[in-house]
Structure 1
Amino acid sequence: MLSNDMKTALCCLLLWAPALVTAGAQSVPADPVAWVNPYIGTGSGPIGYGGMMPFVNTPFGMTDWTPQTRQNKISGVSYKYDDTKITGFIGTHQPAIWMGDYGYVTLMPETGPLATEPASRGMSFTHADEITHPDYYSVRMTDPDGKHIRTEITATERCSYLRVTFPAGRTSRILIEASRPGIDGSASVDHSTHEITGYNPDRMDKHLSTIPLPHFKGYFVVQFRKPFHRAETYGLEGKAERGAWAEFDTREGEQIEVRVGTSFISIDQARANLKAEIPTWGFEAVRQKLHATWNDKLSRVQVTGATDDQKHIVYTALYHALLYPRVFSEQGRYYSAFDDTIHNGDSYTAFSIWDTFRAENSLLTLLAPERIPGMITALLQNYKEGGWMPKWPNPSYTNIMIGTHADSLVAEAMVKHFKGFDYQTAWDAVYKDAMTPPDDDTHRLWKDREEHVPYEARGGLTYYKQLGYIPTDTTAEAASRTLEDAYDDWCVAQVAKTLGKTTDYEFFLKRSQNYRNLFNKDTGLMQGRLRNGDWASPDAGWTEGTSWVYTWMVLQDLPGLVDLMGGPAKYNAMLDQHFAGGHNVHKNEPSHHYGYLYDFSGQAWKTQAKVREIAAAEYANLPAGLDGDDDCGQMSAWYLFTAFGFYPVNPASGDYMIGSPLFKSMSMRLANGKTLRVNAPLNSSTNLYIQSATLNGKPLDKPVLRYDDIMQGATLDLVMGPKPSAWASR
């Protein structure tokens, strides 16, 4: 005899087979959504810990929904595969494990005595009792009395829909946690409408900015399909209401349906978001719509010749890459975390730009080009409202990482002919990045994650303009800053070129050669310098890396680096030593393009072998199958490009360097109706070397694929073999 919750689970499995996605064997799915394994990156193991969560959300959705097995914080996310208890289901805005959350809200079903604290309200679960997809999450939890509660979640861009199956009783309860100890959140109950509303003003990263945001709040509205028979708020030590709860009389297996709207504008706007996105009750209809939305995006990539595990990696990477940047506007308005006011227009946030300028943004220009103008406009709005384009908005300035790589995003959009944003404002913004030092530049070290300092933009720019480099004895991370600023100068030059500003183009192109000022001919490596011009310690001045890591950070002029090192033979020898010495740490972004660097020195066959090696070692269809945080899609974007067989070493150039495709065939359906195809029918684990190549039937003898060729519809045919060849050796 099946219980009602078991019947519900069985129906889900039949309707959405195969629904259960675990680390084990998979049956063949009927659509791309079923190939996504949201567990990837959520657990610790041989590859590492990815700090990911099994999100239910739309592509680029404003609020992510996930089960909560622990209280999230900076350096800790809400869900970890290794945990055995669930303490809530959170609407979170935490974009990465190294960042904080803001404006979040948590719901938790309960039976028995009221338990408001996470430690007391947790219920046990197993992964065998979970179902996780981009469009749907379900889990059966066991309370301390051995009774079962099943919670199901689906979502829209700013709202969620929960369906909770309770045992029989008068204390079937849903707890809403508006905030945590030390946070002055608020919750209230409206008995006439059976709503619980409130807000959470918490911003975990507020210490990384000097901009006060007194009006910032994450608002929520919770609605119940069945009227509650009792509801109250609860507080903490006599302070404001930290949360609320609602109780229901339930029969065995009865389902309580809950809609949650979120907003950064107001409670009324949260209610309006609900009305717009979930206007009627009906869980399955909302889920089916979300399922179709994900299928539309995921089905744009097709793969042939992949194992089941590889297909799970491909489509999970695609799912991860399509989550960020996140929407931050609501029905034509948005709250700005840069001037603390409401504006008309559309907006985005969670730009992890130090990471994502490398490949994630480039992937979105192909797979979500309709979003690019709005994303660039959002950065320009931030510039107008706060004075600068941000480098890591969460949702305001955070000073996380170095450089002003929003310059790269703007340049890439212009080079790739995107319209729909103001070119003059874009020039003003990138020019300020390149020419205006931040406040008190020569009196601050600009340490990593330094608290309560102004926006740093290009910290040390004063010295960079005077000396052609940033001294390690004046500014933190100075050597890395010099190299990254030189790349950004090249990007500013491309913006100037697009706008016909010839003098500015030539100025910034010349300044982009400043990387040469750090090259030590005696060691063959980049090295920081002191203010007096002497060499600094080889270990000084680097950001999450070493001189071995940053020597290759010359995205804008790799042929120049080859010459600087003494020619291809010496360059290749140093690159060989880089990999042999264990300096290539793929879990951190500065290493992401290194496998492709042999393309610039006549040994493309080494690139073909190296990128295959990295892909096999760093990605797996396992909870521990992703290392070091996905960084808002960058790790996943690297894999997707590598699977296709090419990668944007210099993303703002519009060029993609060719590696070795992972499968026999991959295709990408572009938004303009054209299709990109990469065919390698002889491809295998041993046939990994390109013997010859044609692009649209014409011989291709250079390891380069161009954006404009892709957008016209391109077919890249590759003949693969087991031995290195002379292809692209010139």
Structure 2
Amino acid sequence: MRFPVVCLLVAPALFGAEREPLTFVNPLIGTAKSKIGYGGTMPFVSPPFAMTNWTPQTRQNKISITSYEYGDPTITGFIGTHQPAIWMGDYGYITLMPQTGALQTAAEARGLPFSHSDETAQPDYYAVSLRTADGKTIRAELTATERCAIFRFRFPESGTARVLVETSRPGVAGFAAVDPTTHEITGFNPHRMDAHLGPHKLPNFKGYFAVQFRQAPLKAETYGLDKQDASASRGAYAEFRPGELVEVRVGTSFLSVEQARENLRREIPQWNFEAVRGRLHAAWAEKLNRLQVEGATDREKTRLYTALYHTLLYPRVFSEYGRYYSAFDDQAHQGESYTAFSMWDTFRAESPMLTLFAAERIDGMITALLQNFQEGGWMPKWPNPSYTNIMIGTHADSLVAEALRKGFKGFDRELAWKAVYKDAMTPPDGDTTRRWLDREEGTPYEARAGLTYYKQLGYIPTDKTDEAASRTLEDSYDDWCVAQVAKALGKEEDYRFFLRRSLNDRNLFNPALGLMNGKTSDGRWAPIGGPADTQGNRSEAGWTEGDAWAYTWSPLHDQAGLVQLMGGREAYGKKLDAHFSGGHNVHSNEPSHHYAYLYDFAGQPWKTQAKVRELAAAEYGFDEGGLDGDDDCGQMSAWLLFSAMGFYPVNPASGEFMIGSPMYSQMSIRLQNGKTFRVVARNVSAANMYIQSAMLDGKPLNDPLITWEQIQAGATLAFEMGPKPSRWGSAWQATPISAK
């Protein structure tokens, strides 16, 4: 019976019971451009880590454009997308669009106006009213599973009622077939927008689909398949009686059409929209309920729980019930797989966040990276779904080291060692004959570009390799991670070797500037880059999406060494002051994300406390425009979550978290081991941002850090907060790495 279910849903509001976290999530946050910035997010309806995300489509997505932007006036379809971030492409996607009147296949012609007042966007459900050309309304509803979706389209009482299925866009040789006896449209889309960026051609790659209608269509046909016109899209459509509630379910697969049907049989076995929504609701509730917040307003809870929603979308599942297609050898395999690791971004805070909120998936994610290593020769840096050679460093090394440090054991440790060792010791093909430009086409897998020089000189020269200074500093951190893997596996000689090499970051410190500075192959200082670069040539300076100010503090593992290089904690703190006061901190991009927490290393933790609060207020809002910078697969959101809780993983593979300023009276995490970690902040407020004292399980905590073990033990971290800075935590000093 339906009546008791409705009562359960409305009763909390009637009697003033506590709202569940899911009701606070607003998937539209980050979809609009604003004075804060543009998050480039989409209002996905899908479970955590879903293989396929479903979203309304207001524009044709491509690299640098997402499917949905809040300010657009029309909807052109509902897309099953695999685009993980604005600067990445989509692949194997499928679009459905309800329409009336004459058949319109082109996106610009089929768009229908809508109003946000008629739009409902939730993680488990999306609904909107579309206005037809003759002033009538099509009501569209959507809910989903890990690989499938189910739609309800309510058409007007008169005119044509049609569902368009676009299998590919102009210039892409997609395919569709109609089977009127089974009420089904099947086919595939072979498009990979990022195909030009990686070394692999993948002739077997296809995004397969099975679209099934509950009602028998009056008419069903393909379109665009028999035309030689490359400007035409391809697909099929089905027409129904006017006024009908047309129900559609869609299965997606990267293995076959039959697997798409099998995914439907497993995930949506019955025509029951509400049951599918209920399961999706429960999946999100289980995750979101792990975070409990006290002392926050409803607006603040919306910001927090939406951030948690964003962090739980990636990496995405890329396997289908024990099998997966590998975009690294173009073959099908047995096992579990994930893709969409935006590692240059996410190794910093997103990956540590997943170890807290999705610990059950970490072993599978690391195993996926190791499978990529076996199938393609290297662990990837930005798989989408294959190698893309985007960004620098081999930060899969950090994910492996972090997993080992935190006690995850469900992956092949020796294979992990082989993978990180190759990253650290084997230069990519043609290393000294290429500049390795950002997103350079036609290159082999980039790995650690310039590694040949790094091994010879102790740095990567700016006149030989692009982005060389940034690469040197990030490779130094990755070397530290490789050292930790060696240590965990008892490889003492390798541990010492890579630990020493992790200090190569110090080779770029220019004492005359008090900043990191690229070097040329003959040992001369390169132009500094940024405002101080009179030549205005960032390429010669050697930076990646930044300058010397953005990268000086980037060796996450060696802040104590940087303190020494700068002449002590006071000088280090003054340089940080100059960084912030000079406008060099760009929170919309990841290299700056840990900088606010570095005052802990300067013996000035009260400045960390103030700066964290300042950034959270400036960079994160409460509505559609409330997210600065591309969310980068949850990294921007993870920063906010950690900062709200009052701690942050400056060195994510170390198992240590630096203390900031907790924002609410209590936040707790229900851990995978069944225990609960709590942060209590007495007297906290917007003004009372400064820590006066701290206790960990009733004992004084005098150092501005906590460890993974303390969190996993289910400790209670309690702060006394006040309106003025205190000296709490200022005596702590980090120990520099020894080169011996």
Normalising by structure 1, what TM-score?
0.96
Q: Conserved in 1, the CA contact under 8 Å of 2:599 and 2:607?
A: yes
Correspondences of 1:289-688 after superposition (within 5 Å): 289-539=279-529, 540-688=541-689
Match of 2:184 in 1: 195
**Deviation at 1:30?**
2.8
Q: Conserved in 2, the CA contact under 8 Å of 1:29 and 1:35?
A: no
Correspondences of 1:22-61 after superposition (within 5 Å): 30-61=19-50
* Amino acid corresponding to residue 552 of structure 1 in structure 2: W
* Structure 1 residue matching 2:161: 3-state secondary structure: strand
Match of 1:105 in 2: 94
2-structure distance, mates of 1:19, 1:700: 40
* Structure 1 residue matching 2:682: 3-state secondary structure: coil
* Structure 2 residue matching 1:137: 3-state secondary structure: strand
2-structure distance, mates of 1:368, 1:112: 47
**Deviation at 1:31?**
1.6
Q: Conserved in 2, the CA contact under 8 Å of 1:689 and 1:723?
A: yes
1:205 aligns with one of 191, 194, 203: 194
Match of 2:59 in 1: 70
* Amino acid corresponding to residue 245 of structure 1 in structure 2: Y
Correspondences of 1:246-261 after superposition (within 5 Å): 246-251=238-243, 254-261=244-251
Deviations 1:180-213 (A, max 9, x none): 0000000110111110001000000000012110
1:243 aligns with one of 217, 220, 235: 235
Q: Conserved in 1, the CA contact under 8 Å of 2:337 and 2:367?
A: yes
1-structure distance, mates of 2:684, 2:156: 54
2-structure distance, mates of 1:137, 1:591: 35
2-structure distance, mates of 1:533, 1:55: 50
Q: Conserved in 2, the CA contact under 8 Å of 1:91 and 1:104?
A: yes
Q: Conserved in 1, the CA contact under 8 Å of 2:389 and 2:439?
A: yes
1-structure distance, mates of 2:616, 2:444: 39
Match of 1:694 in 2: 695
Match of 1:96 in 2: 85
Q: Conserved in 2, the CA contact under 8 Å of 1:608 and 1:689?
A: yes
Match of 1:24 in 2: none
Deviations 1:440-482 (A, max 9, x none): 0000000000011100000000000000000000000000000
Match of 2:277 in 1: 287
Match of 2:720 in 1: 719
Q: Conserved in 1, the CA contact under 8 Å of 2:657 and 2:705?
A: yes
The reply on whether 1:139 has 2:100 as its aligned counterpart is no
The reply on whether 1:182 has 2:171 as its aligned counterpart is yes
* Structure 1 residue matching 2:262: 3-state secondary structure: helix
Structure 2: gaps (5+ residues): 530-540, 732-740
Deviations 1:351-394 (A, max 9, x none): 00000000100000011000000000000000000000000000
Q: Conserved in 1, the CA contact under 8 Å of 2:324 and 2:332?
A: yes
Seen in structure 2, the aligned counterparts of structure 1 residues 19 and 168 have a Cα distance that, compared at 3 Å, is: farther
2:162 aligns with one of 173, 189, 199: 173
* Structure 2 residue matching 1:215: 3-state secondary structure: coil
Match of 2:203 in 1: 214
Deviations 1:585-633 (A, max 9, x none): 0000000000000011110000000000000000011111001111001
* Amino acid corresponding to residue 22 of structure 2 in structure 1: V
Seen in structure 2, the aligned counterparts of structure 1 residues 378 and 114 have a Cα distance that, compared at 3 Å, is: same
Deviations 1:66-114 (A, max 9, x none): 0000000000000000011000000000000000000000000011110
Q: Conserved in 1, the CA contact under 8 Å of 2:30 and 2:624?
A: yes
* Structure 1 residue matching 2:168: 3-state secondary structure: coil
Match of 1:230 in 2: 219
Q: Conserved in 2, the CA contact under 8 Å of 1:261 and 1:273?
A: yes
Deviations 1:309-360 (A, max 9, x none): 1100100000000000000000100000000000000000000000000010
1-structure distance, mates of 2:437, 2:8: 53
2-structure distance, mates of 1:658, 1:331: 41
**Deviation at 1:169?**
3.3
Seen in structure 2, the aligned counterparts of structure 1 residues 13 and 614 have a Cα distance that, compared at 3 Å, is: farther
Q: Conserved in 2, the CA contact under 8 Å of 1:19 and 1:133?
A: no
* Amino acid corresponding to residue 179 of structure 2 in structure 1: D
* Structure 2 residue matching 1:250: 3-state secondary structure: coil
* Structure 2 residue matching 1:582: 3-state secondary structure: coil
Segments of 4+ moved more than 2 angstroms: 11-20, 27-30, 236-241
* Amino acid corresponding to residue 669 of structure 1 in structure 2: R
Match of 1:265 in 2: 255
Q: Percent identity?
A: 67
Q: Conserved in 2, the CA contact under 8 Å of 1:19 and 1:132?
A: no
Seen in structure 2, the aligned counterparts of structure 1 residues 371 and 205 have a Cα distance that, compared at 3 Å, is: same
2-structure distance, mates of 1:627, 1:568: 31
**Deviation at 1:126?**
0.5
2:72 aligns with one of 76, 80, 83: 83
Q: Conserved in 2, the CA contact under 8 Å of 1:586 and 1:618?
A: yes
Q: Conserved in 2, the CA contact under 8 Å of 1:17 and 1:29?
A: no
Structure 1: gaps (5+ residues): 1-7, 21-26
Q: Conserved in 2, the CA contact under 8 Å of 1:676 and 1:715?
A: yes
Q: Conserved in 2, the CA contact under 8 Å of 1:116 and 1:175?
A: yes
Q: Conserved in 1, the CA contact under 8 Å of 2:12 and 2:19?
A: no
**Deviation at 1:521?**
0.3
Seen in structure 2, the aligned counterparts of structure 1 residues 12 and 130 have a Cα distance that, compared at 3 Å, is: farther
Q: Conserved in 2, the CA contact under 8 Å of 1:19 and 1:34?
A: no
**Deviation at 1:16?**
5.8
**Deviation at 1:14?**
9.0
Normalising by structure 2, what TM-score?
0.95
* Structure 2 residue matching 1:222: 3-state secondary structure: strand
Seen in structure 2, the aligned counterparts of structure 1 residues 364 and 18 have a Cα distance that, compared at 3 Å, is: farther
Root mean square deviation of aligned Cα = 1.7
* Amino acid corresponding to residue 686 of structure 1 in structure 2: A
Deviations 1:529-548 (A, max 9, x none): 00000000101100000000
* Structure 2 residue matching 1:473: 3-state secondary structure: coil
Deviations 1:268-290 (A, max 9, x none): 00000000000111000100111
Seen in structure 2, the aligned counterparts of structure 1 residues 19 and 123 have a Cα distance that, compared at 3 Å, is: farther
Instruction: Give the number of aligned pairs.
Output: 713
* Amino acid corresponding to residue 672 of structure 2 in structure 1: A
Q: Conserved in 1, the CA contact under 8 Å of 2:370 and 2:416?
A: yes
Q: Conserved in 1, the CA contact under 8 Å of 2:348 and 2:651?
A: yes
**Deviation at 1:634?**
0.3
